[in-house]
Amino acid sequence: MSAKESTRVEYGKALLKLGEENPDIVALDADLSGSTQTKHFAKAFPQRFFNMGVAEQDLLGTAAGLALGGKIPFASTFAMFATGRAWEQIRQSIAYAKLNVKIVASHGGISVGEDGGSHQAVEDLALMRVLPNMVVLVPADGPETRAMARWAANYQGPVYMRTGRMPFPVIFADDHRFELGRGQILREGEDVTLAGIGLLTHHCLEAADLLAREGVSARVLNLSCLKPLDWQLVVDSARRTGALVTAEEHLATGGLGSAVSEVLAEHYPVPLQRIGLRDTFGTSGKAEILLKHYGLMPDDIRKAALKVLPRKNSR
Amino acid sequence: MVEKSQDIPDSSRLRETARQVRLDIVEMLHRAGSGHTGGSLSATDILVALFFGQMRHNPQDPCWFQRDRFVLSKGHAAPALYAVLSRLGYFPREELLTLRQFGSSLQGHPDSACTPGVEVPTGSLGQGLSIANGMALAARLNGNGARVYVLLGDGEVQEGQIWEAAMSAAHFHLDNLTAILDRNRLQIDGRTAEVMSLEPLAPKWEAFGWHTVEVDGHSFPELLGALQEAEQVKDRPTMIIAHTVKGKGVSIFENQVKYHGVAPNKEEYAQALKELQA
């Protein structure tokens, strides 16, 4: 097994490095700087760090004002509170205003674990994906987290990036570069496409290994850039493999599964199975147990692939 | 470049400017057929005092880096802001008459992407103070001496975010920030005292750590005096509670709940012209 990294920890390091390179970068947090890992930036650049207290609406509004003043604000809190509590501030003061604010929200998905359903954002991607002007990113590993943070610092406009708490295997090389609107083919295959986002990209790779043992050849995509989605890659995969499985640590509605469904329905309809939470909130428990409980493991993706394969022929 | 006037601005000239702005407002609203009459007229003198008597800004260079910033947090008073901006030369006066029309640069609520002189979109109440705080923090980091002004509605401070921002402005010692509260005592559904009590208002802001003053929001000497006083305050933001009359300047609109979000019809417009031209 390769090395494991947590995307929130890698983000914290990346933000510190970006702060050293660019004096216009400022950071804000809402009393969670230890959890979101903005604490390293806060320690190094106390004049450029603003702890807003437990006040997420003010957090995002203040970030908007800093952007208007020519700064590059990176605002952090838990994904649930950023996108839930402060959705309308993001909508009005950041997305509608098209301001250069980077929202980097940690503790996305159910791998948050023990804190339970109140703290597990399973709808943040849906909430951000509907917003015009918003870029929505979920890195698959540490190198991609660092690449996305660097890209976001240089991009003019609003960005939402979700990071996770749980350490996960590294997929990309250390010098990985991020390109807006581009997904990657991580593994070639002919029979079915497994499209992952965030931590579940690695589960797709593991599922492809399992399927290979059964003689099923799976193409694996990393669709970490949820918006704008690499729709051409989705269509190409549909054409090439004839069936898709999407996998995300999110509700099966509103996130990657929905985004891929929309592309397929409009451009190249093929059978699709969605892996994600089914109309339910999260619950307390160890992350590993929750990933199993909600059917987000490699074997669940394998089963979804075996389920979608016969539908290819019954069209 | 419009540097701050060396002399104390002449109140009678400002009163005349405000009269013309009010004429523009009722004409714009009448032509548009919808919009917010009462709150535009209550805020007119405050905006005239700010833009013609207090702020450093340059209509020929709206993005001048050192300019003072203004946020119209009560975005529904957009007609008053537009009338002031056009009179200063930010855009031609003819555009005023396109208010709220499809394709117009003058959206129903302020939109910075469309209108020169508008710093940020507002209209969803309660969000402007946080934005102004962020601008004030940026101005401090930039060290360019810019001041930030934000106009709040009184109904608007029923929003929780206002009090989050009230706390943070004091916490960060934003003495380059001045907020003005248009205290016209009415909101859409009735009197603020009936809908959701705000008083005691001044002690609230004082308790949150703000230098707080109360003025007659239709008196230029009082408004300008308070704005100048705010510049001298150190380590604290300033709140100017401006007591105003909703619909000020036109008797049939004054203190009438109905005209919060209703534009003048033909007869009302004729009456308004008569009174404002008298």
Chain-chain contact of B161 with A89 (C-beta, under 8 angstroms): yes
Indicate the residue type of A229: L
* Residue closest to A7 by CA, chosen among A122, A120, A146: A146
Q: State the complex-level ipTM.
A: 0.95
Residue B262 phi, psi (nearest 5): -120, 135
Chain B CB within 8 Å of residue A280 CB: no
Chain-chain contact of B168 with A71 (C-beta, under 8 angstroms): no
Chain B CB within 8 Å of residue A88 CB: yes
Which residue among the candidates A5, A10, A56, A206 is catalytic per the annotation? A56
Residue B28 phi, psi (nearest 5): -60, -45
Indicate the residue type of A5: E
Q: Could you give the angle at the alpha carbon of A192 between the alpha carbons of A310 and A123, nearest 5°?
A: 100
The full DSSP string for A18-55 is HHHH-TTEEEEESS-HHHHSTHHHHHH-GGGEEE--S-
Determine the Cα–Cα distance for residues A124 and A75; give it in Å rounded to an integer: 15
Q: How confident is the model at residue B1 (pLDDT cuts 50, 70, 90)?
A: very low
User: What b/e string do you get for B16-26 counting C-beta neighbours within 10 Å, with b at 16 or more?
Assistant: ebbbebbbbbb
Chain-chain contact of B124 with A53 (C-beta, under 8 angstroms): no
CB atoms closer than 10 angstroms to residue A216: 18
Chain B residues whose CB is inside 8 A of the A73 CB are: 134
Chain B residues whose CB is inside 8 A of the A68 CB are: 69, 119-120, 131, 134-135, 138
Residue A159 phi, psi (nearest 5): -135, 135
Q: According to the model, what pLDDT value does residue B262 have?
A: 94
Residue of B nearest to A59 (CA): B130
Chain B residues whose CB is inside 8 A of the A66 CB are: 134-135, 137-138
Strand-pair category, A49-51 with A25-29? parallel
Residues B104, B106, B107, B112, CA torsion sign: positive
pLDDT in tens, chain A (315 residues): 579 999 999 999 999 999 999 999 999 999 999 999 999 999 999 999 999 999 999 999 999 999 999 999 999 999 999 999 999 999 999 999 999 999 999 999 999 889 999 999 999 999 999 999 999 999 999 999 999 999 999 999 999 999 999 999 999 999 999 999 999 999 999 999 999 999 999 999 999 999 999 999 999 999 999 999 999 999 999 999 999 999 999 999 999 999 999 999 999 999 999 999 999 999 999 999 999 999 999 999 999 999 999 999 765
The verdict on whether omega for the bond into residue A228 sits within 30 degrees of 0, i.e. cis, is: yes
Determine the Cα–Cα distance for residues A140 and A206; give it in Å rounded to an integer: 14
Chain A CB within 8 Å of residue B123 CB: yes
- A243 with A192: CB under 8 angstroms? yes
Q: What is the mean pLDDT of residues B199-228?
A: 98
Which chain B residues in 169-228 lie under 8 Å from chain A, judged by CB atoms? 171-172
**B223 to A184, B45, B146, B147: CA distances (angstroms):** 60, 9, 20, 16
A56 is catalytic: yes
- B6 vs A304, more confident: A304
* Residue closest to A180 by CA, chosen among A140, A220, A224, A214: A224
H or E segment and range at residue B97: none
Chain B CB within 8 Å of residue A71 CB: yes
**A132 to A136, A158, A167: CA distances (angstroms):** 11, 10, 32
At B90-120, the pLDDT tens digits run 999 999 999 999 999 999 999 988 899 999 9
Determine the Cα–Cα distance for residues A274 and B56; give it in Å rounded to an integer: 57
Per DSSP (E only), the strands in B42-170 are: 69-72, 148-153
Chain B CB within 8 Å of residue A19 CB: no
Chain A CB within 8 Å of residue B137 CB: yes
The number of C-alpha atoms within 13 Å of A275 and in the hemisphere containing its C-beta is 36
Strand-pair category, A225-227 with A135-137? antiparallel
Out of A57, A63, A96, the one facing B134 most closely (by C-beta) is A63
- B125 with A110: CB under 8 angstroms? no
Indicate the residue type of A29: D
Cα-trace Rg, chain B: 17
Chain A residues whose CB is inside 8 A of the B126 CB are: 57
Determine the Cα–Cα distance for residues B146 and B227; give it in Å rounded to an integer: 14
Cα-trace Rg, chain A: 19
H or E segment and range at residue B142: helix B128-142
Out of A48, A68, A92, the one facing B124 most closely (by C-beta) is A92
- A255 with A197: CB under 8 angstroms? yes
